[in-house]
Chain A
Amino acid sequence: MTEALRTMRGEWLLEYFRYRELFYFLVWRDVKIRYKQTVLGAAWAVIQPFFMMIVFTLFFGRMAGIDSEGVPYPVFSYSALVPWTYFQQAMPLSGNSLLANSRLISKVYFPRAIIPAAAALGGVVDFFIAAVVLVAIMLYYGFPLGWGLLLWPVLLVPTVAFVVAVGMIFSALNVKYRDIKYTIPFFIQAMLFVSPVIYPTSAVPEQYQTLLRLNPMVGLINAFRAAALPGRTIDLGELGVSIAVITGLLIVATIYFRKTERAFADLI
């Protein structure tokens, strides 16, 4: 086996395959630590989206009277809050992951993108726990459980890919510019307002909807909601736009990351 320092074209992809076990262990570490460090452990995965649902229901459902497309507002918002909460928690973890693992970066070699990717994947356990509660809420409101729920794990794949892409860009920027971390909460807040968590896409004036769909979370959240609730079909065109944007972002993220990763150990 020969390992040349100057890896050949395309060989870096093979390198990621070679380091798959480290990737697995880093995800495992993140999950393990998260549940060890908190008293409530797995309950956090539910508490956050559940309370957001109550707050949204009171303020937006009741007081503002936002249209929830014929579904009780709690079900309407919670079905979106599950994927949204995943995004909101995993994205900052991924975006700050390189700095959080600076020891590893300055002391050992491994393909660097493993770090933001592992951080993004660590949050999916919370996602599934929160999804189980969605089933309970639907049963409470007397909704029939459809086969569509089985599409949730499938829809999670592009969602994780989106977090990985954004996380790679932010984490690489974070190494170079230390104040990037302050923009992450702002970015997430802005994303909440341009994603159909609180309101349905139909509430947005028609001429802005196309623009809105450039945000990949729009197609994804609508698809998650359509898959869970009865009598709805996933808008494949909208979902296709999301996946196309995510793919584009992943390519940009990979190019930028590959360009900057060589200097990580010197800057961190």
Chain B
Amino acid sequence: MTEAIRVENLSKQYRLGALKHETMLRDVIVNALRMRRRRRDVNTILALDDVSFSVEEGEVVGIVGRNGAGKSTLLKILSRITYPTAGRVRVRGRVASLIEVGTGFHDELTGRENIYLNGSILGMRKREIEERFSKIVDFAGVEKFIDTPIKRYSSGMRLRLGFAVAAHMDPDVLFVDEVLAVGDAEFQKRCLNAMDDLRSGGRTVLFVSHNMSAIESLCPRTIWVDAGKLREDGPSGEVIHSYLTTFAEASGDGHDLTQIAGRGGNGAARYTRIEFMDAEGNPVTVFRTGEPLRARLHFQVHEAVKDPRFALRVFSDMGALIATISSYVAGCTIAGMQPGSGYIDLVIPSLPLLPRRYYVSLWLVMPGQPYDILDHCLALDVDVPTSGVHKGRGMHSRWGLIWVPSEWRVNMPGA
């Protein structure tokens, strides 16, 4: 076996000041004229801190970690988009990286023109694109619109076209970053199939995802990156298990959400605390299948927000998304909120989750603009009910993930 990727003591430091704020030459000149030294940005963060690992040729490796843990930085360094502050990286063979689907697509160009443009941006030769052109068009399913400017395409068509081009690259080493997070279920299935083909084709693949079941099924080995450091590296099942157990456990007396690192969104509004209660408003410590549950989400609005939508997403212990419980879907519309604090109650008449460990993400968004995203911010252990009509009969994780309340009516003479 030959080594395909070798990463040695890799570190990447970002200056916090330089990251978000745009430097103006004007300020530099003004400060120089006033004989004042430019205030040094001493605030630095280590996006990657002394990371080392190697990957054999033909290996498919998953990379997991929370938002902001350094997964994307790692892929960007491996794909040479950005450079490390310290350390060395070696990648053998032809590299392709898929950090985004459809990079460089231009609205005014036709599907055909965009295939050529995007293909060459991804590092394909013109000859290669020509050879695979009909396959790409087939895969994307856009034959009829191939000479139409893509500004007339639906977002789904664009996505399919972008992925079709990417799926027809022929690299030795492929880096994939969370492309599967977009698109509908059908599209995600296609992507996973294409990834599977790549794997069986003997290519080396590094695959970053929040989709634990995708990682589990595609990658025999997983690397867990936590706060810039390599936390664990080993068989996927074990690594994913220990990764998921680090999430805070939900408990009755509420859970502080202000200290969570690596949250997304622009921060116009933030969740501060979550509490769980029963139907009477008493704190609950144990969550039971079929029992009523109320989640009280406390939040702080920092800047006036429009059309806020609250959502709680539930994942299985293997990372599969089970449900998105959203205020919008439930018909609760809020025009806007001014700065201040408040809470919103989510009332679940009967908890439909079977006994098992679940993970919860919290979203506070408006369409197209996330205010606060807390991925997998807490764990929820559901237990067997002890009272009520069900008395926990047959309620076990081996029967599935959800409990569907049902009634049965038999119609047979003599029964």
Contact = CB atoms under 8 A, between A and B. Distances in A.
A180 B24 CA distance: 8
Interface stretch (B86-94, B246-254, B365-373): B86-94
Interface residues of A, number: 34
Interface string A243-268: 00000000000000000001101110
Contact of B117 (A3, A4, A29): A29
A149 B53 CA distance: 62
Interface in B85-121: 88-95, 97, 99-100, 103-104, 106, 108-109, 113, 116-117, 120-121
Nearest to B77: A5
A48 interface: no
Contacts of A1: 93-94
Contacts of B14: 266
Nearest to B93: A1
B108 A36 contact: yes
A266 B121 contact: no
A232 interface: no
Interface string A58-80: 00000000000000000000000
A177 B25 contact: yes
Given A21-B120, A108-B103, A3 B97 contact: no
Interface stretch (A84-92, A99-107, A134-142, A221-229): A99-107
Nearest to A33: B108
Contact of B95 (A3, A106, A107): A3
B25 A108 contact: no
A180 B25 contact: yes
Contact of B109 (A33, A103, A263): A33
B79 interface: yes
Nearest to B116: A25
Interface string B71-92: 0000010011111000011111
A104 B22 contact: no
Contacts of A9: none
A173 B23 CA distance: 11
B121 A104 contact: yes
Judged by DSSP, the binding face of A is: helix
Contacts of A263: 83
Contact of B103 (A32, A103, A176, A179): A103
A262 B12 CA distance: 13
Contact of A108 (B28, B88, B116, B122): B122
A178 B25 CA distance: 7
A5 B126 contact: no
A3 B92 contact: yes
Nearest to A178: B22
B40 interface: no
Contacts of A4: 90-91
Contacts of B97: 108-109
Contacts of A262: 82-83
Given A179-B24, A179-B26, A266-B19, A25 B125 contact: no
A267 B80 CA distance: 15
Contact of A109 (B25, B80, B92, B109): B80
Contact of A104 (B19, B91, B103): B103
B24 A178 contact: yes
Contacts of B99: 107-108
Contacts of B92: 2-3
Contacts of A29: 106, 109, 113, 117
Given A107-B99, A109-B80, A37 B121 contact: no
B91 A37 contact: no
Contacts of A3: 91-95
Interface of B: 14, 18-19, 22-26, 28, 76, 79-83, 88-95, 97, 99-100, 103-104, 106, 108-109, 113, 116-117, 120-123, 125-126
13 contacts: A3-B94, A5-B80, A21-B120, A24-B120, A36-B108, A36-B109, A103-B103, A104-B104, A108-B104, A108-B121, A108-B123, A110-B123, A176-B23
Given A6-B88, A32-B108, A37-B108, 4 more contacts: A5-B91, A33-B106, A173-B25, A180-B25
